[in-house]
Structure 1
Amino acid sequence: MAKFELADAKIKKEKIIKEKRIKIADLNLPAPVKQFYLDSGIQSLYPPQSAAIDAGLLEGKNIVAAIPTASGKTLLAEFVMLQSVLNENKKGKALYIVPLRALASEKYERFRSFESIKKSDGCGVLAGIATGDFDSNDEWLGNFDIIVATSEKVDSLLRNRSHWINEITVVIADEVHLIDSPDRGPTLEIVLAKLMKQKPRLIALSATIGNAREVAKWLSAELVLSEWRPIVLKEGVFFGNAITFGDRSQREVKEFHSDSTISLVADTIKEGGQCLVFESSRKNTEGMAGRLGISISKLLDNDTREKLKNLAAEVHETSEVDTAKKLAMCVANGSAFHHAGLISEQRKLIEGGFRKGIIKVIAATPTLAAGLNLPARRVIIKGYRRYDVNFGQVPIPVLEYKQMAGRAGRPKLDPYGESVLVTKTYDELDELMGQYVLADAEKIWSKLGSENALRTHILSLIVTGFAPTMTELLEFMRATFYSTQQEPWSLKVVIDNIIRFLAEKKMIVQKDGLFATRLGEMVSRLYIDPLSASLMIEGMEKIEEKGMQFTEMTLLHLIASTPDMRQLYLRSNDYNWLSDLIMDHHTEFVHIPPQFKVDYEWFLSQVKTACVMLDWINEIKEEDIVKKFGIGEGDIRALSETTLWLVHSMAELGTFLKRSSAGKARELEKRVEYGASLQLLDLIQIRGIGRVRARKLFDAGIRDMETLRAQEPDKVAKIIGTKVAIKVLKQIGAAPPPEEKSEEQRKLHDFG
């Protein structure tokens, strides 16, 4: 057990924050703000929050708060935002940047409560949310005091020159450690570097930064570093019949089931707690949730069973796809699974049921740990390895483990929080203790150093005037996190390549400076990778050169071949049917690589991705798409959103360059948006009529809004149901059908 000796050393080196708790009444905040918090039951601050006040949080200082989950990071952000918004001398706006849309919605709901805080003009503090279109400046957001947005949306607002951006006086970067993410990191980093030029207050929040001092240095910020939590977090490893914790203590867990994870969950439920189980794949979450539900249902009381039955019925109604039925069955037993394959309605129901304490356990993929506020008494990390395309099964980073572990312990509900890794051997117990429980999170590293990461941002810097010359472009790079970790001049080769590419593709002109062309401006405004734009433009040119009889498949494949589209993985049974399809439709592809080349596998993956969208616009049932492609309903929605954005971009570029395929792209844009044929578009734009109901109406001879308005209400009710018919007909100004009598009304009538 040599690894346990690390525990003492770690405890000694921890920075102990005095149990100082500053009172809300003593804060340098406007009276209405203090009253708001006092009314909500907050009398004093936690020690890490008090440390942030001492570090100058309310005195104009930038702050990096690296403190655990549930220690009150968001409250620090709220103080600064409200102080700024209510500042009589220099009124400003606050921008709250989050990594995920779901987290944006959660924060927005919280900030809406500030409307009860009145400004000097008598109006309440207003919060707005921006997560949508990437080619809009959203000037309407200027009406709000606090704007919540994803980093991608903020980037697009900066590119589209939203005027209200200049009024921002406070920027909050939530989950700032995601600068380390290859996908989202570069955008967040560039956005912060751009905003820093305006010199707003900067508050960066994270529970897990291995090199917090380095981040604070970059942001010219004071560092608040703490491991204090309102609820003690005990991290350990389960082996045999006991959890061994980092402080060498042990806790026995009675065997409830041969599967140790089920025993750990049952142990928590019996104590009145809830569990999160993190699995390495979607398939594993579904299997685990099913097994858990069967086992724990006997531990539930009748009241909980009744509530679960109603919740399960709601889940079942969200979709016709088998996944909804499977999820509803789990929910009826008190368990659930949560992953990106679910649609947002299902995720909201699951999250709501868990917050209310009805659902006792959720088996989830790690995406749930990335910011969503769903704490539980015990967090069980079942799979600590992830599949990597290049390396196979690899151990997860400590940072990811700490994010999951940090979900343990519900403030005011749990006496403690427990995070448990599960192992089958004693040697592995020792290994996991040193590798995760007693380890610190890794350093976060800038991911800006590649052409893929920088291409879109360099064009944007030129278009928006941040970098009108090569010297100023390199100077701007000095303001990035990359430059605190590596010499910014080391990027010069990468930047030179990108400048050459952008000039070749006629997006910029390099002559006595760097100037964007109209094409370059459009590409930047559309928020697409310049390489994506180039591939689309070249594809549209080849269609004309070859005189192709192009189809939806041609355009969808063109979009699927861009770096902005995340291609689907190929399964072993995909190769045959895809090869057959390509042979049958070979005239519809702009280019087919030779079968013996590496590119051919990429091509197959692109075609598979395009086929999902082809089925979507041809009104194939979602249930059939899910089965055919081995994806989730949530994946179809995500793919259609990305496709819509890229088809819109193709239509805009095609129109600008006068390409013959632009008209077809514009038609395709509408079809992708609604997942339907062109003939249904008039009906489908009515709120409440989706692709399925529109098809039913069309097949019944009701082919447009005018015909629908002229129909007998009863006929419409028979086709799409009375409740929907009432809403739809009222909406288009037609007489609705008579409402069905309720059971109670019928009984009263019988007595008459």
Structure 2
Amino acid sequence: MALLSERVLSSGEKTSLSEALAGQVLTGAAFHHAGLTGVHRETVEDSFRSGKVKILAATPTLAAGVNLPARTVVISSYERYEAGFGRYPITVLEYKQFCGRAGRPRYDKFGESLLIARNADEAEWLMENYIIAKPEKLWSKLAVEKVLRPHVLSTVAAGYARTEEGLYEFFSRTLYAHQYGPRLIKGKIGDILRFLCNEEMVLMEGKELVATKFGKRVSELYIDPESAVTLRDGLYNRAKRLTDFSLLHLIAKTPDLAPRPRPRGKETESLGLLAVQHGGEFTFDVPEEFEDPMAYEEFLSELKAAQVLEDWIEEHTEDEILEARKVEPGDLLRLVQGSEWLVFAAQELAKLFGHKDLLPPLGVLRVRVSKGVKPELVKLVGLEGVGRVRARMLFASGLKTIEDIKERSLTELTSISTIGPALAKRIKEKAGGLIKADEWERAKSAKASEVEQQVMLTDYEDTE
């Protein structure tokens, strides 16, 4: 278990979350939620499957999306926190889904599921309303416009429907139309089709529907057409002073990045001040607080998302961001992953609409958002095995370019914490350096192959 714990600590940036996970793994337990990095999730899942981890505390994401059965499933409460509602009862369907994880094929003849009650009355209520209750009926979510818009566009772009009537006929065969009747979905499709035509994603030539170049590219990017309109208009509008913060706010404004982190307590005041400090950097008009309070509240939410992303690309540690911005690990991970794709989408739309001057800054910003680094590390993090922490350590050690790494010996590379001989060899090869047999032997003998424990990003400052 010590090796497993070390693997957790040496994977990615060292945070209070990774330290807590490493500590639990030592005892044969672990936790799993949306805030874990991909490497940590994989480590936890593999260890639980193999039996090294005996107890796993998890959020509903594990029960819903990963095939990870257990001998016994314990559900500590029938309630879960829902934003805007507080603690809210889960559905019977979700409860049954949790229970379905009990029992491992090939190992157990049966599985056990425990639902915890606080008293005898609650136990009786849970028996009636969950354990012996029938699951709720499934209802289609297709009528939600955010869900339906990309489907209508892709149906036209892919040629599955070539006329308005063909579009109605195509969607009349969906579960939604079966449940609610074709007339209701016809009205929604008509509204969306008018939106797509007005925004020049779809042309109506007589009775024929044709996707424009804009519409086809948006469909290929798998983003909400409304997000595409926001990005397109933002690229055309430009800010008086275009900065990385301008682009981050533009990304945060799109529906695809929702739900955005909400301002808490005194953050409303500090975010208002932030808006003043970045005056002239916004690609859209800032709403007035008292003229349109709802729009202003939404703007502050966009601003907070942009602020979190700016912290990330300025190499603030995860712990610093979580503490200062009052966001959860899962929120940070979702923001980073969603924003990376939206920056790429903005880059592709900039190509389409001829904004050649924006391609370099968008290209750099995409890497910065993906890796969480300042501009000087963009090329270094392109090397295999080099993340934001190792890139900063390389830079601080004087290895500031790919050429610098190419010219250094393996022994010099392995003198940097967390870089063992095998990784040093891989990094130098990716940088285009040649490695002689005697150099490889010297590197192996100079430092053991075990990877040292990861360190905090803030332990390595630039040495200019």
The interval holding the TM-score normalised by the smaller chain is 0.7 to 0.9
SS of equivalent to 1:741: helix
Shift of 1:491: 1.3
What does the per-residue CA deviation read over 1:395-418, in whole Å, with 9 as the maximum and x for residues that have no partner? 111110000011112234335322
Cα pair 2:177 2:185 within 8 Å, conserved:
no
1:383-398 superposed matches below 5 A: 383-398=77-92
CA distance in 2, matches of 1:313, 1:363: 20
CA distance in 2, matches of 1:551, 1:493: 41
- Is 2:320 the counterpart of 1:624? yes
Cα pair 1:684 1:694 within 8 Å, conserved:
yes
Shift of 1:389: 2.9
Cα pair 1:341 1:631 within 8 Å, conserved:
no
The code of the aligned residue for 2:303 comes to V
CA distance in 2, matches of 1:588, 1:342: 33
- Is 2:394 the counterpart of 1:700? no
Shift of 1:357: 2.1
CA distance in 2, matches of 1:460, 1:376: 40
Cα pair 2:364 2:378 within 8 Å, conserved:
no
Shift of 1:619: 2.2
Partner of 1:690: 387
Q: 2:193 aligns with which of 499, 503, 522?
A: 499
Q: 1:635 to 1:744 in 2, by over 3 A?
A: closer
Shift of 1:384: 1.0
What does the per-residue CA deviation read over 1:355-400, in whole Å, with 9 as the maximum and x for residues that have no partner? 2223221111111111422222221111211223343322111110
Structure with more strand by fraction: 1
- Is 2:445 the counterpart of 1:741? yes
Cα pair 2:227 2:254 within 8 Å, conserved:
yes
Partner of 1:315: 8
The code of the aligned residue for 1:607 comes to L
CA distance in 2, matches of 1:352, 1:699: 35
Bigger mean CA offset, 670-679 vs 342-351: 670-679
Partner of 2:261: 568
Cα pair 2:411 2:446 within 8 Å, conserved:
no
* Larger Rg computed on CA atoms: 1
- Is 2:223 the counterpart of 1:531? no
- Is 2:239 the counterpart of 1:540? no
- Name which structure has the greater RCO, CA cutoff 8 Å, separation 6+: 2
CA distance in 2, matches of 1:466, 1:561: 31
% of aligned pairs identical?
39
1:397-436 superposed matches below 5 A: 397-436=91-130
SS of equivalent to 1:725: helix
Cα pair 2:73 2:98 within 8 Å, conserved:
yes
SS of equivalent to 1:314: helix
Shift of 1:460: 1.0
SS of equivalent to 1:420: strand
What does the per-residue CA deviation read over 1:433-481, in whole Å, with 9 as the maximum and x for residues that have no partner? 1111001111111111132221111111111111111110010012211
Cα pair 1:474 1:489 within 8 Å, conserved:
no
Q: 1:327 to 1:492 in 2, by over 3 A?
A: same
Partner of 1:648: 344
SS of equivalent to 1:587: coil
- Unmatched segments (≥5 aa) in structure 1: 1-307, 746-752
Shift of 1:662: 4.3
Alpha carbon RMSD of aligned pairs, Å?
Answer: 2.3
- Is 2:406 the counterpart of 1:714? no
Partner of 1:551: 243
CA distance in 2, matches of 1:518, 1:743: 56
Shift of 1:564: 0.7
Cα pair 1:450 1:494 within 8 Å, conserved:
no
The code of the aligned residue for 2:255 comes to P
The code of the aligned residue for 2:353 comes to L
SS of equivalent to 1:514: strand
Q: 2:166 aligns with which of 451, 472, 476?
A: 472
- Is 2:37 the counterpart of 1:372? no
Shift of 1:630: 3.6
SS of equivalent to 2:297: helix
Q: 1:744 to 1:529 in 2, by over 3 A?
A: closer
Q: 1:344 to 1:573 in 2, by over 3 A?
A: farther
CA distance in 1, matches of 2:200, 2:68: 48
Shift of 1:601: 1.8
- Is 2:175 the counterpart of 1:481? yes
Shift of 1:326: 0.9
CA distance in 2, matches of 1:336, 1:690: 24
The code of the aligned residue for 2:209 comes to L
Shift of 1:337: 1.2
Cα pair 2:197 2:204 within 8 Å, conserved:
yes
The code of the aligned residue for 1:609 comes to A
Partner of 1:520: 215
Partner of 2:459: none
SS of equivalent to 1:515: strand
CA distance in 2, matches of 1:441, 1:449: 22
Structure with more helix by fraction: 2
SS of equivalent to 2:280: helix
Shift of 1:633: 4.9
Partner of 1:612: 308
- Unmatched segments (≥5 aa) in structure 2: 450-464
Bigger mean CA offset, 660-669 vs 591-600: 660-669
SS of equivalent to 2:378: helix
TM-score in terms of structure 1 length: 0.55
Partner of 1:288: none
SS of equivalent to 1:572: coil
Shift of 1:696: 2.7
CA distance in 2, matches of 1:522, 1:436: 46
1:99-114 superposed matches below 5 A: none
CA distance in 2, matches of 1:394, 1:459: 35
Shift of 1:742: 8.7
1:135-146 superposed matches below 5 A: none
CA distance in 1, matches of 2:35, 2:7: 18
SS of equivalent to 2:255: coil
Shift of 1:743: 9.9
CA distance in 2, matches of 1:634, 1:442: 28
Q: 1:585 aligns with which of 278, 287, 290?
A: 278
SS of equivalent to 1:588: coil
Q: 1:465 to 1:568 in 2, by over 3 A?
A: same
Partner of 1:381: 75
What does the per-residue CA deviation read over 1:27-64, in whole Å, with 9 as the maximum and x for residues that have no partner? xxxxxxxxxxxxxxxxxxxxxxxxxxxxxxxxxxxxxx
The code of the aligned residue for 2:220 comes to R
CA distance in 1, matches of 2:319, 2:85: 33
Shift of 1:556: 0.7
SS of equivalent to 2:139: coil
SS of equivalent to 1:497: helix
Q: 1:398 to 1:623 in 2, by over 3 A?
A: same
Shift of 1:653: 1.1
CA distance in 2, matches of 1:722, 1:364: 33
Partner of 1:670: 367
